[in-house]
Amino acid sequence: MRSDTPRSAYWRGVRDGAPFLLVVTPFAMLFGVVATEAGLNVVEAMGFSIVVIAGAAQFAALQLLVDNAPTVVVLASSLAINLRMAMYSASLTPHIGAAPLWQRILAAYFMVDQTYACSIATYETHPDWTIPQKIAYFFGTVTPICPMWYAMTLVGALIGSAMPAGLALDFAVPITFIALIAPMLRTAAHKVAALVSVALALVLAGLPYNLGLMLAALGGMMSGAQVELWMERRGTWT
Amino acid sequence: MDIDTTQLWVVIVLLGLGSFGLRFVFLGLIGDRPMPPWVLRHLRYTAVAVLPALVAPMVVWPAATGGALDAPRMIAALVTLGVGYFTKNVLMAIGLGAGSLYLFLYLL
């Protein structure tokens, strides 16, 4: 039996979430800057980051608003980008679905790429954790990431000047996610799922409304599940 | 590029509600009801399917180079993957990946 308490799981979440400040800080500042340049005031920029709390979808919505797209198009495109959140929601359900409703409501609000990715990676390596431990860990990852999203949007909106380009911060997103995924590629099924999803994502990158991502994700999940089934039948699944 | 204030707030509120709906749909509505094994079998691969699909185009066609394949970024991605896979250490993978990015941006 592990000695992890909800308190230690929480602090572990804080530590695991902290490296993502590398991504969230510049991304949120950039949103504040871009929003200001598009003519939004500070309250409007903050409204976006607090109400929507989803980086890529916020950028897309803002760009479409600047292009004078109809409201329906703005909403449909931005929600399509956030469709992956429904997959995250399904994926977290076996782990924290039994938590009290108010905790699930809060967890849903704070579900972003980084908090999801940290949590699912840790849940998989701690199948013995109780629900309070898993919930505490989730909110541990939220603690450094989400308040910083608000704070840095505010800073970006207030300074309103461009970020230095020489830092190559564009690549903070790929590096942090690859670093998190790589240790999860434990079985052949996980490796096949990731390979298929990468191949499909590249082939289908030209599709509109982020459809390429959704199809690639579904293809990857189906491949992983299929490999697991094959290995189970051949008795090589551990 | 004047954005209409009403349209802006309509978008913010509806996009917020819609995003929350997508995040809550399974966690809230299914809760602790058991899901069939085939669904669970697919859900086990959500993370390793969604996140690589999200990242792959950023690695192959980086926005910073206008979408041109970029050797330092490609090397950094491979270093991060290799270190993460073999050491299972996320922080070391981020550190060495970022280090190799700056090294090769400087060298190449």
Q: Are residues B84 and B94 in the same domain?
A: yes
Q: Are residues B99 and B63 in the same domain?
A: yes
Q: Are residues B20 and B48 in the same domain?
A: no
Q: What is the pLDDT of residue A161?
A: 60
Report percent pLDDT > 70 for chain B: 99
Q: Are residues B54 and B84 in the same domain?
A: yes
Q: Is B69 on the interface with A (CB under 8 A)?
A: no
Quote the number of domains for chain B.
2
Q: Are residues B43 and B95 in the same domain?
A: yes
**Minimal Cα–Cα distance from A192 to chain B, Å?**
9
Q: For the stretch A210-221, what's the b/e string if a residue is b when 16 or more beta carbons lie within 10 angstroms of its beta carbon?
A: bebbbbbbbbbb
Residues in A closer than 8 angstroms to B59, CB to CB, are 174, 178
CB neighbour list of residue A25: distance below 8 Å, 6 or more residues apart: A148, A152
Q: What is the pLDDT of residue A95?
A: 95
Q: Are A148 and A27 in contact (CB under 8 A)?
A: no
Q: What is the pLDDT of residue A104?
A: 96
Q: pLDDT (tens digit, 9 = 90+) per residue, B55-66?
A: 899 899 988 888
Q: Is B30 on the interface with A (CB under 8 A)?
A: yes
* CA A223 from centre of chain: 22
Range of the domain at B85: 35-107
Q: Is B71 on the interface with A (CB under 8 A)?
A: no
The Cα–Cα gap between A1 and A4 comes to: 9
- Specify the range with the lowest mean pLDDT, choosing from A222-226, B32-36, B81-85: B32-36
Q: Are residues B42 and B59 in the same domain?
A: yes
Give the helix/strand (H/E) hosting B88.
none
The Cα–Cα gap between A108 and A154 comes to: 23
The DSSP-derived string for A172-216 is: HHHHHHHHHHGGG--SHHHHHHHHHHHHHHHHTTT-GGGHHHHHH
Q: Are residues B100 and B75 in the same domain?
A: yes
- Between A175 and B16, the more confident residue is B16
Residues in B closer than 8 angstroms to A228, CB to CB, are 41, 44
The predicted model gives B94-99 an average pLDDT of 92
Q: pLDDT (tens digit, 9 = 90+) per residue, A14-66?
A: 999 999 998 888 889 888 988 888 889 999 999 999 999 998 889 889 888 88
Q: Are residues B14 and B67 in the same domain?
A: no
Of A86, A107, A174, the CB nearest to B77: A174
Residues in B closer than 8 angstroms to A223, CB to CB, are 45
Q: pLDDT (tens digit, 9 = 90+) per residue, A74-129?
A: 898 788 878 889 989 999 999 999 999 999 999 999 999 999 999 999 999 999 99
Q: Are residues B82 and B52 in the same domain?
A: yes
- The three-state secondary structure class of A234 is coil
**Minimal Cα–Cα distance from A185 to chain B, Å?**
7
Mutate to test the interface with B, among A178, A213, A229 (most CBs of B within 10 A): A178
Q: What is the pLDDT of residue A77?
A: 79
Q: What is the pLDDT of residue B84?
A: 95
Predicted confidence (pLDDT) at residue B2 exceeds the cutoff of 80: no
Task: Provide the 10 A C-beta neighbour count for residue B89.
Answer: 15
Give pairs for B82-88: CB < 8 Å, separation 24+: B82/A182, B83/A179, B83/A182, B84/A178, B84/A179, B84/A180, B84/A181, B84/A182, B84/A183, B85/A182, B85/A183, B85/A185, B88/A183
Q: What is the pLDDT of residue B47?
A: 87
**Minimal Cα–Cα distance from B23 to chain A, Å?**
5
Q: Give the angle subtended at the CA of A101 by the CAs of A100 and A103, to the nearest 5°.
A: 70
Q: What is the pLDDT of residue A83?
A: 85
Q: pLDDT (tens digit, 9 = 90+) per residue, A137-195?
A: 999 999 999 999 999 999 999 987 655 555 666 787 788 889 988 999 999 999 999 99
Q: What is the pLDDT of residue A1?
A: 44
Q: pLDDT (tens digit, 9 = 90+) per residue, B77-88?
A: 999 999 999 999
Q: Are residues B57 and B95 in the same domain?
A: yes
Of A179, A221, A228, the CB nearest to B46: A221
> pTM here?
0.82
How does DSSP classify residue A40?
Answer: -
Q: Are residues B24 and B50 in the same domain?
A: no
- The three-state secondary structure class of B29 is helix
Q: Are residues B4 and B28 in the same domain?
A: yes
Task: Give the mean pLDDT of chain B.
Answer: 91
Residues in A closer than 8 angstroms to B53, CB to CB, are 197-198, 200-201, 212-213, 216-217, 220
